[in-house]
Chain A
């Protein structure tokens, strides 16, 4: 997929995020929108996956450690064809397939149930270790929030991954700089993030998480890196693409009302139209 196509897919993915959250009347738009470009790249370019065979043994795996941004994952899976897009409108409803946080038992394409922060990275490490133990060459990706890395378990997992030289593991930190109580450096700063992963023997790549050239280069470099896991620290904008949500901590966990939804969709339409002109 070329850069323009990726941008168009990401824009479509954002529309699905906003639409599903509007329908759900609750959920987490800020982080879902900040991670949308990376999610798009993973599912439409990077990962070896097959919607017709969601559990194929040699597939690449994604553990969404920051599980509250499930709407971004669900949008990607629906767009890939893992399940009908209509499911997105039932997000978070009683009896629905799409739970508030990812549920591997109920949702095709979800490789791990996640959402309790700090835990997904350990599971991703276990998957990567498993590939090493049985000489398989699938790769494992995990997406963490920058607030999430305040959890101590993240660093237990990082220490283990570095120690075991798990070069089939890519940890992505969605560095949108905001958590529920404010900016991460005000609440309890995890900075410098890259240096911390370096200290745990990671290959660290810092990028603009909305620039597909940078995203592509980072994942390519990760693949070429042998003998150590890679951490991609992606600078992103919380709420990216929706004018009134951008850089607002208050949009961490609130759904748009009808009026806000119309504005959000108009914002994204505009982006889409601009991309068509290219």
Chain B
């Protein structure tokens, strides 16, 4: 493969915030002592007075974000997914979700691709947690282009939005002139008639690669990018179930409660069809370089290819 540009979506987040900050005075960015890692440091440099470091206190940060939102500010509360969705779950539910406040949660370091920090910091449960909160929109962008578009769309959407970003540099796959981002609208990245791979976030790039490997074996795989896990694009999923023989979901997240579950929720009501869920199989992660972990947990292109072949 030719050299592809790679950038971590957490970097896209930081860069998109700066653009947003230039355009809109009411954008305020909050962090909990992780500005260097969540990449909100770039915003801090540009707009120091609108960057609020809350210290290591994520629950309080979510409450402060809620308070800011009641007065018309648009806060982007940033932390690792583990702490934003995990530690502060109840604050997000009760102080942001229930009153439907206009707070954006920028959750970086999602999934096992956090790498060497290991299981305590690898959040494979955040999508599941956030999905249960009424009013919450969940976006898991696949690359730099999509991440930046998602930040803008999150600003334009009134209400709580959970944005999921990764630490690992992801290949840029959406830099086409006709790329358009719409909350809740899935994207058919590759057409195919035999099976459909429904992927989200970092896994979209791997899914495309896996589809190319499957093509060599004579399997024509469709690849659908679900960047918005809630509200999910039901039409594109039902269509895939009707037109192809089996659905494979791929996510860097537990197979319990994430994209796979969301797809099953749609299909069991609208169009019962066989689904195989590829993801973190009800286990904690571990330390190691991100690329090695993705391989070990069969979440790279090879792992997806292998699991599809085994479960056709």
User: Interface on A for B, CB 8 Å cutoff?
Assistant: 57, 61, 63, 103-105, 111-113, 115-116, 118-131, 133-134, 152-153, 156-157, 159-160, 163
Contact A126-B66, Cβ < 8 Å, known A133-B28, A133-B50: yes
Residues of chain B from 67 to 106 with CB closer than 8 A to chain A in the complex: 67-73, 75, 90-91, 94-95, 98-100
Report if B256 contacts A (CB, 8 A): no
A-B pairs with lowest CB-CB distance, top 6: A126-B67, A122-B63, A156-B60, A126-B64, A156-B57, A130-B71
Contacts of A63 in B (CB 8 A): 67
Report if B267 contacts A (CB, 8 A): no
Report if B62 contacts A (CB, 8 A): yes
Cβ-closest chain B residue relative to A118? B59
A123 in contact with B64 (CB, 8 Å): yes
B95 in contact with A119 (CB, 8 Å): yes
B55 in contact with A123 (CB, 8 Å): no
Contacts of A111 in B (CB 8 A): 70
Cα A111 to Cα B71 with chains together (Å): 10
A129 in contact with B49 (CB, 8 Å): no
B91 to chain A, nearest CB (A): 6
Which listed residue (B60, B67, B68) contacts A153, Cβ 8 A? B60
Cβ-closest chain A residue relative to B71? A130
Task: Give the dominant DSSP class at A's interface.
Answer: helix
Which listed residue (A105, A122, A131, A152) contacts B95, Cβ 8 A? A122
Contacts of B71 in A (CB 8 A): 57, 127, 130-131, 134
Report if B163 contacts A (CB, 8 A): no
Cα A103 to Cα B95 with chains together (Å): 11
B55 to chain A, nearest CB (A): 7
User: With contacts A112-B66, A125-B60, A131-B71 known, what are 11 further pairs, Cβ within 8 A?
Assistant: A122-B60, A122-B63, A122-B67, A122-B91, A125-B63, A130-B71, A133-B73, A152-B59, A153-B60, A157-B60, A163-B55
B57 in contact with A112 (CB, 8 Å): no
Residues of chain B from 13 to 49 with CB closer than 8 A to chain A in the complex: 28, 49
Cβ-closest chain A residue relative to B49? A133
Report if B52 contacts A (CB, 8 A): yes
B28 in contact with A119 (CB, 8 Å): no
Contacts of A105 in B (CB 8 A): 99-100
Cα A160 to Cα B54 with chains together (Å): 7
Contact A159-B63, Cβ < 8 Å, known A113-B98, A133-B50: no
Contacts of A160 in B (CB 8 A): 54-55, 57, 60, 64
User: Interface on B for A, CB 8 Å cutoff?
Assistant: 28, 49-50, 52, 54-55, 57, 59-73, 75, 90-91, 94-95, 98-100
Contacts of A61 in B (CB 8 A): 70
Contacts of B94 in A (CB 8 A): 113, 115-116, 119
Contact A153-B98, Cβ < 8 Å, known A116-B90, A133-B49: no
18 inter-chain pairs at a CB distance below 8 angstroms, sorted by A residue, are: A57-B71, A61-B70, A103-B98, A104-B99, A105-B99, A105-B100, A118-B59, A122-B63, A122-B64, A122-B66, A123-B64, A126-B64, A126-B70, A133-B49, A153-B91, A156-B55, A157-B64, A160-B60
B67 in contact with A129 (CB, 8 Å): yes
Contact A129-B63, Cβ < 8 Å, known A113-B94, A123-B95: no
B44 to chain A, nearest CB (A): 14
Contact A123-B73, Cβ < 8 Å, known A133-B28, A156-B60, A160-B60: no
Cα A152 to Cα B66 with chains together (Å): 18
B67 in contact with A123 (CB, 8 Å): yes
A127 in contact with B60 (CB, 8 Å): no
Which of A104, A115, A156, A157 gathers the greatest number of chain B CB atoms within 10 Å?
A: A156
Contacts of A130 in B (CB 8 A): 67-68, 70-73
Which of B67, B98, B99 gathers the greatest number of chain A CB atoms within 10 Å?
A: B67
Cα A112 to Cα B91 with chains together (Å): 13
Cα A109 to Cα B98 with chains together (Å): 17
Cα A121 to Cα B66 with chains together (Å): 11
Which listed residue (A103, A126, A152) contacts B68, Cβ 8 A? A126
Contacts of A122 in B (CB 8 A): 59-64, 66-67, 91, 95
Which of B60, B65, B68 gathers the greatest number of chain A CB atoms within 10 Å?
A: B60
B67 in contact with A124 (CB, 8 Å): yes
Which listed residue (A129, A131, A156, A163) contacts B59, Cβ 8 A? A156
Contacts of A120 in B (CB 8 A): 63
Cβ-closest chain A residue relative to B57? A156
Which listed residue (B54, B61, B63, B99) contacts A121, Cβ 8 A? B63
